[in-house]
Chains A and B, each alone.
Chain A
Amino acid sequence: MKNTPPETGAFFARDRSWHPPVLTPGYKTSVLRSPQKALISLEGTTTELTGPVFGHNMLGPNDNDLIVNYARPGEMAIGQRILVHGRVLDERGRGVPGVLVEFWQANAGGRYRHKKETYLAAIDPNFGGVGRTITDDEGGYWFKTIQPGAYPWPNGVNDWRPAHIHFSVFGHGFAQRLITQMYFEGDPMIARCPIVRTIPDPQAIEQLIAPLDWNATVPMDMRAYKFDIVLRGRRSTLFENRKEGN
């Protein structure tokens, strides 16, 4: 970690029109789980300006290798090997170092390892489907995994999820906390997905689609996809002299 003082400025207001609204009837579960009253909006307090950080020493050697981190010794998960990499940035375009990134996904057949999962596709005995890492000094991160499969889900009669990887990201303040999903370039199922379509702006949807990164592809080993994640930016503390209500 660089020896620079931590930033403590206020976060930029979240652009709620860029995010999905809470009520999206096309995604049926949202109907009973969406607040109906307006959010109370105000600039964050010391509680939201601060947030937990996690040390690199919490990571195990295979935490960012889903191909082997659940596999029996000498074995590997089945599926197309891929490298997912990118940077965690803030809205000012600066890397966000030292933040925990967690990811989880279905196996190559589109099956999750979960008690409540009922899809008939096979479980892969060598694939758990979870990993994590912490960003480096420039905000960079990477992990190895297998390309997840698409799968059907009970919403409409015939709804399918495009291949995707879930991401949970911390920042330096709790106001930056974010959970999202990464999709894969060229997948014709993205546009059909009711969960993707909770996002009203097509440009915002594009921000979730990772391009194939040919330069980062490892010859004779694995293809690469690049997925940058942008967290809320914060103002410079130089201008922090306004009192609420003044």
Chain B
Amino acid sequence: MVQTLAYLKETPSQTAGPYVHIGCTPNFSGISSIFETDLGSGPLANEQARGERITIRGFVYDGLGSPLKDALVEIWQADADGLYNSPAETRGQADPNFLGWGRQPGDMQTGEFVFHTIKPGRTPFRPNDARMMAPHILFWVVARGINIGLQTRMYFSDEEAANAEDPVLARIEHRHRVRTLIGQREGETVRFDIHLQGENETVFFDM
């Protein structure tokens, strides 16, 4: 026998289910007297925040191309200078007027999700690896039928040079799949659709 390592196992995931909105966006689901607002539902940046304002719009599609109308999407990103508003950010103080995190349900009729945020700056790959990542936003999708939250990233179509040297995008062997991670700029709007299955299946990460 050897000594035991005594690590614990991570709690297994279970689906967020059809009523995730009760727990995460209760006001949206019609329960309006418990919390004043739905956490993460406002713009991520207030008026004083630095950076270029953008609006991200998209749908989450199932394997038959139907938009999910019961999905919940969260995003996490750096500020305009590439700093995260997090205690684990050691490179400096992020813009206090920018939260960096947002949460939106898909529209109950159409399924579209909308985030009002700013375009993030570039961030280093890892604390010990100064290669720079291209501007990107982490997306996390949960819904009925999704057993464990799906994590992906949105990059920007107007950042071709930065995208070309991004160390995460470089890990994608099938190069034609990189386009599934590129949000398409149309003025201040960025379109980013997520495909759970099929020919255009979005690249999801285990990170």
A interface residue numbers (CB < 8 A to B)? 6-8, 10, 12, 14-16, 18-22, 24, 27-37, 39-54, 58, 60, 62-63, 69-70, 89-93, 100, 102-104, 112-117, 128-132, 166, 168, 172-175, 177-181, 195-196, 198-199, 203-205, 207-208, 229-233, 237, 240-244
A207, B76: Cβ atoms under 8 Å? no
Q: In terms of DSSP, what is the predominant structure of the interface of chain B? A: loop
22 contacts between A and B (CB under 8 A): A15-B10, A22-B148, A32-B63, A33-B63, A46-B124, A47-B77, A48-B207, A49-B126, A70-B34, A104-B22, A113-B31, A128-B33, A130-B22, A168-B23, A175-B207, A178-B10, A179-B15, A179-B149, A204-B9, A231-B10, A233-B8, A242-B128
Does chain A have a CB within 8 A of B24?
A: yes
B8, A89: Cβ atoms under 8 Å? yes
B interface residue numbers (CB < 8 A to A)? 6-24, 26, 29-31, 33-36, 39, 62-64, 68, 70, 74, 76-78, 84-90, 99-101, 108, 123-129, 133, 136, 138, 140, 142-150, 153, 167-168, 171-172, 177, 196-197, 201-207
B8, A91: Cβ atoms under 8 Å? yes
Distance of B39 from chain A, by nearest CB (Å):
7
| A35-B150, A41-B206, A130-B23 known; A52 vs B34 contact (CB < 8 Å) | no
Count of CB-CB pairs between chains A and B under 8 Å: 292
CA separation between A208 and B153, bound complex, in Å? Answer: 30
A178, B11: Cβ atoms under 8 Å? yes
CA separation between A35 and B180, bound complex, in Å? Answer: 13
CA separation between A19 and B203, bound complex, in Å? Answer: 20
Of all chain A residues, the one with the shortest Cβ separation from B94 is A50
Contacts of B30 in A (CB 8 A): 113-115
Q: In terms of DSSP, what is the predominant structure of the interface of chain A? A: loop
Of all chain B residues, the one with the shortest Cβ separation from A40 is B205
CA separation between A52 and B29, bound complex, in Å? Answer: 24
Q: Which of A32, A49, A207, A232 contacts B64 (CB 8 A)?
A: A32
A40, B145: Cβ atoms under 8 Å? no
Distance of B102 from chain A, by nearest CB (Å):
9
Distance of A86 from chain B, by nearest CB (Å):
10
Contacts of B149 in A (CB 8 A): 177-179
A52, B86: Cβ atoms under 8 Å? yes
A52, B125: Cβ atoms under 8 Å? no
| A42-B171, A130-B26, A130-B34 known; A33 vs B143 contact (CB < 8 Å) | yes
B17, A166: Cβ atoms under 8 Å? yes
CA separation between A174 and B140, bound complex, in Å? Answer: 9
A114, B85: Cβ atoms under 8 Å? no
Contacts of B9 in A (CB 8 A): 15, 18, 91, 203-204, 207, 230
B127, A63: Cβ atoms under 8 Å? no
Of all chain A residues, the one with the shortest Cβ separation from B137 is A47
9 closest A-B pairs by CB: A104-B23, A29-B145, A50-B86, A52-B101, A33-B145, A50-B84, A20-B147, A39-B206, A6-B87
Contacts of B202 in A (CB 8 A): 35
B127, A8: Cβ atoms under 8 Å? yes
B88, A181: Cβ atoms under 8 Å? no
A195, B6: Cβ atoms under 8 Å? no
A35, B33: Cβ atoms under 8 Å? no
CA separation between A1 and B48, bound complex, in Å? Answer: 28
Distance of B84 from chain A, by nearest CB (Å):
4
Contacts of B17 in A (CB 8 A): 166, 181, 195
Of all chain B residues, the one with the shortest Cβ separation from A231 is B10
A40, B206: Cβ atoms under 8 Å? yes
Of all chain A residues, the one with the shortest Cβ separation from B141 is A33
CA separation between A179 and B17, bound complex, in Å? Answer: 10
A46, B147: Cβ atoms under 8 Å? no
